Every structure is written in structure tokens, then in C-alpha cells.
Structure 1
Amino acid sequence: MFSKRRSRPTLLVVTDAELSARLRANIVAYKKFQAAQGGLLHLGLPGLWAFAQPSHPETLSQQQAFFESLEALEAGLPRLEDFYRAHGIRLWRVPLPPGTTAAEQLLARAGYRKEDGGTFAMGLGFEDGPLTPPSIPLEELTSQEELIPLNAAAFGPSTSIHLEPWHARHFPELHIRGIREGGQLITGGLTHDAGDTAGVFLVATSHTARGRGLATEVMRGLLLDAQRRGRVAAVLQSTEQGYAVYRRLGMRDLGLWVDWVRRSG
């Protein structure tokens, strides 16, 4: 008598398109989380989300909007402008992922202009392959407090001004790891859980500790922790400096997100 051979379950592979959608969703969730703590203002429309920080109206990085579909963007553009104008903000941005030609044309007609450069979108499905654990011990931090000066020194103060109202508190959505030397935090970063995806934010290394692979070790710890919590993917936006680090960790290049900026008045 022959026994039936059990078929192996098919592993779900997270596609690049799905990772891009997860990245947008995680950023929006992270920004909404910040707004709930008092760091940002939030406008929520069907398929369109805008964030503003009136205390720093000239800091473009803090005035940004994300959309789910071309129809949502087109319907929400007038409300978007009213939102920023009402709070005294005269410049804001809409980051566009690759392949959004129709959205580019729509924004161009509405007075937006394409900026030079952009931000690398990256993602990793944990089914892509085994993760390498960190080779040195990482410290689990209870709050984001020490990440703020670390990021400000590494990338400029505008990168972390939105964290000031709530940086010293603990939140279960945030998982923070770092490395100290001489009692000082020299590298660190965090993940923000939204659904089954971990978004990576605020990874930075002090200037005096660069070139030693410490950011790689922190990333290994963040990714492995996320997988152990049951997340299925990790996503992030990378600077040009961090791109090579993330690629060596197996993260996929999801293309360059380019800012389209509206300057009003």
C-alpha cells in the first residue's frame, strides 16, 4: 500500500511591487504615529495622506504627501494645497516612485516641479534567504532619545526635528538597537512595525566610528529581530551613503523616489 506524498507548501515570495507598496504604507503609518504623539500635523483623505510641521515651514523634508492611486492624487490636490497654505507652509513635496509617468504629468500641470536627486527605495522579503546574525552584542534601547543627536550629527538637524515631542518615551511599535563605546552611542537604528512589515528608520553612525561595519551589525540585529517577531518583510529609504550597506545585506533596489515640489507664493 502506497502512502500519499505530502506536497510542500508553496512559499509566498514578496515581489518588488509589493515591497514598494509596503514601504509607502509603512512610511504613512510611521508618520501618522508621529502625528498622534504631537510631532506632526496630518491630513487624511481617501488614498492620500499629507504631513506638515508648521514649526519648521521651510524644512521641505517635513512637508510631504503620499498617495495610493492617480485618482486619489488628482481628487486630493486642491485640498492638499489648502492644507499647507492654512498652516503657513509655502513649499511641500510629493515623492514619486518609478513608473508613475501619469502622476508626473498631473503634478506638472498643477505647478509642481521635479527636484534633482532622490531617495533609494529598498526592501527585503525574509523568504529571500537566511539572515546573518550580528557578530557583536547589540544593546536594546528603550527610547529614541539618543538616536536624535546621532542622526542630527550624521545627516543634519532637519532629519530628526519631528521626533522632539516624544523621543524620550517607549512605544511597543518601535524596536531600537545600538552599539556604545565609552558610554556613548556610536551607531544605532530602529524598526517600526506596521502590519506584517518592519520599516527601518534613523540608522546612523557617528563620524568617528565609520568604516568599521557597525551599521551593518545594527541592521543585522534589526532585521533578525523583525523576522523573529513574525514580520515577513523589511523596507526602508536609503541615502546614497547607506545604499551599499543595505545591498550587501540582501536588500533589493526598488528604484529611486523623486520629489516633486510645489512652491506656493
Structure 2
Amino acid sequence: MTNAELTERLRVNVIAFRHLQRERGQLRHLGLPGVDAFSLPTLPGEAYFQQVYFADAGALSAALPALEDFYRGQGVAAWRVLVPPGHAEGGRLLGGAGYRPDEHLSDAMGLVLDDLPDVPPAIPLETPDTQEDLVAINVATYGDWGGAVAVWNRPPRLPVHTLVAREAGRPLACGFTLDVGDTAGVYMVATAPEARGRGLASEVMRGLLSDARARGMRASVLQATPQGMGVYRRLGYRDLGGWVSWEYRAA
């Protein structure tokens, strides 16, 4: 499986992840041919939450006027289009339309499960009935971002596969996978601040990957923070390249 194929699987999986947020009342969505835009109008000044994903430059070009109407209509003054590796034409198009590259937002990573041995976790992991522990660990680690994390406690029940590592009854590390087709996307991996440096996130990841293999998944994809890239590389993920955020600020 090529890097380009894994990148496309990641794009599709992330869009499905955003739809889970939308279904819980947090995000609004504009769907156009080959383009998906999500907004968080309760935080109009946070461009990070106003994100656009596209399949090809032609679809993006056709969508630009509707994107501006969508965000302006909600009082959002700045939004971002995420340009994956291999989509240089999309970057050129955005530059000509007044967008500016804002930052290297995240690193895409992926693996093919059959390329790696199945290494089960070395510690017991739990499959919780709710997302309360996952939310608590992520809030303690990253903050709540105006309710962006707590949204995972809302109904309906999430169609994800969550694992939690505990010690003496206390939740210390977590993460979940979202299956789209035969690809498991990894999200919300976090370790409680007091438990960092013990390899707990790696054990959670081993559990998530082992379970994904058992469900018949072929690949796994994720977006890594700089702090997490080393963990994922050691697990066998390969670097697919950075997604560049192109930002537009309305006058």
C-alpha cells in the first residue's frame, strides 16, 4: 500500500471523525462534491476548529465561493484548508485565492497491519462502557477546548473501539479507533500527566492495533503531534508527510 493510498484513507477517516463531532451537536458541516467543510461557530475566533478537507484541486476550486459564504454566514472570520502531501496544486490554487500557509498542522502516519507482527499489549487494558475516562484523561492532558473534548460523552453511543489502561483503579492512558472500511483511524491517545514516561500510550496503541487486526482491518492511520511521532514510529507507523494549513482571513 503506497503512502498516497494511506493518505487518502486518512482523509476519509478524519472526515468520518468530524461527522461524529457534528452528530453530537458541536460542528456544522458543508458538503460539496469532493469537499467537506466543518465549522465551530461557538468559537468563531479559533481558526483551528474551522477546517476544510478536499479530494482534488478541481473540486476545491469550484467550492471556494461557497466556502466563504458558509463561514461568513456563521460569523467566522478565519478558516483553514488542509493540504495533504502530494496536493501541491491545491496549495497553488489557495495562494492565488488569498489564502496563506499558516503552519505545519500535523504529521500524517500510517501502516499496513500485515506488514507488522501482532504484538499484544504487555499490560491489562479495559474496554469501557462509556467515554468518561477517555474524556477525563484528554482534558487533563490537553484541556477541554471549549467543550471540544467533553462532546464525546454525549449520545448517541460512539461507534468506536476504546481502550483504557488503569492502575489501582485510576485511568492513566487511553485511545480509540474508528473503523472506516478496512482502515482503523487512531484518535484521542493520551496519558495522564502524572503517568507520562512509562510507556502506557504505547501499550494502549498495541492493544488498539491488535484488536483492529482481529476485526479484519488492513491499515491504520493517524495524525501525530511532534511529541507522539517517536512512539508511533517505534510501533511501525511510517511518516506520510505533513498536512499544511492554508488560512483565509475575511476582511
Q: Would you say same fold, with TM above 0.5?
A: yes
Residue number in structure 2 paired with 1:57 = 44
Residue number in structure 2 paired with 1:31 = 18
Residue number in structure 2 paired with 1:183 = 169
Residue number in structure 2 paired with 1:4 = none
Residue number in structure 2 paired with 1:242 = 228
Work out the CA distance in 2 between the residues paired with 1:216 and 1:121: 18
Which 10-residue stretch deviates more, 30-39 or 89-98?
A: 30-39
Residue number in structure 2 paired with 1:87 = 74
**SS class of match (1:188):** strand
1:235-264 deviations in Å (ceiling 9; x for gaps): 000000000000000001000111111111
Give, in angstroms, the shift of residue 170 of structure 1: 6.4
1:196-221 deviations in Å (ceiling 9; x for gaps): 11110000001110110000000000
Work out the CA distance in 2 between the residues paired with 1:39 and 1:50: 14
Mapped contact 1:40–1:162 kept (Cα < 8 A): no
1:152-176 deviations in Å (ceiling 9; x for gaps): 2222332x83343452546362010
Give, in angstroms, the shift of residue 229 of structure 1: 0.8
The one-letter code of the counterpart of 1:218 is V
The runs of at least 4 aligned residues of structure 1 exceeding 6 Å deviation read none
Mapped contact 2:144–2:150 kept (Cα < 8 A): no
Give, in angstroms, the shift of residue 142 of structure 1: 2.0
1:81-135 deviations in Å (ceiling 9; x for gaps): 1111111111111111123221111111111111233311001111212121100
Work out the CA distance in 2 between the residues paired with 1:141 and 1:60: 33
Match of residue 162, structure 1, among 127, 141, 148: 148
Match of residue 40, structure 1, among 24, 27, 49: 27
Matched, 1:197 2:183: yes
Mapped contact 1:143–1:170 kept (Cα < 8 A): no
**SS class of match (1:230):** coil
Give, in angstroms, the shift of residue 71 of structure 1: 0.5
Specify every segment of 5 or more residues in structure 2 that has no aligned partner in the other structure, as ranges.
none
Match of residue 107, structure 1, among 91, 94, 110: 94
Residue number in structure 2 paired with 1:9 = none
Give, in angstroms, the shift of residue 151 of structure 1: 1.6
Residue number in structure 2 paired with 1:138 = 125
Match of residue 63, structure 2, among 58, 76, 79: 76
Larger Rg: 1
Please give the TM-score of this superposition, normalised by the length of structure 2.
0.95
Q: Does the C-alpha gap of structure 1 residues 149 and 59 become closer, same or farther in structure 2, counting only changes over 3 Å?
A: farther
Residue number in structure 2 paired with 1:218 = 204
Work out the CA distance in 2 between the residues paired with 1:122 and 1:23: 8
Please give the TM-score of this superposition, normalised by the length of structure 1.
0.90
Q: Does the C-alpha gap of structure 1 residues 156 and 162 become closer, same or farther in structure 2, counting only changes over 3 Å?
A: closer
Work out the CA distance in 1 between the residues paired with 2:70 and 2:241: 29
- Superposed counterparts of 1:115-130, under 5 Å: 115-130=102-117
Residue number in structure 1 paired with 2:219 = 233
Residue number in structure 1 paired with 2:192 = 206
Mapped contact 1:143–1:168 kept (Cα < 8 A): no
Work out the CA distance in 2 between the residues paired with 1:29 and 1:40: 12
The one-letter code of the counterpart of 1:161 is G
User: What fraction of aligned residue pairs are identical, expressed as a percent?
Assistant: 49
Count of residue pairs brought into register by the alignment: 251
Residue number in structure 2 paired with 1:66 = 53
The one-letter code of the counterpart of 2:133 is E
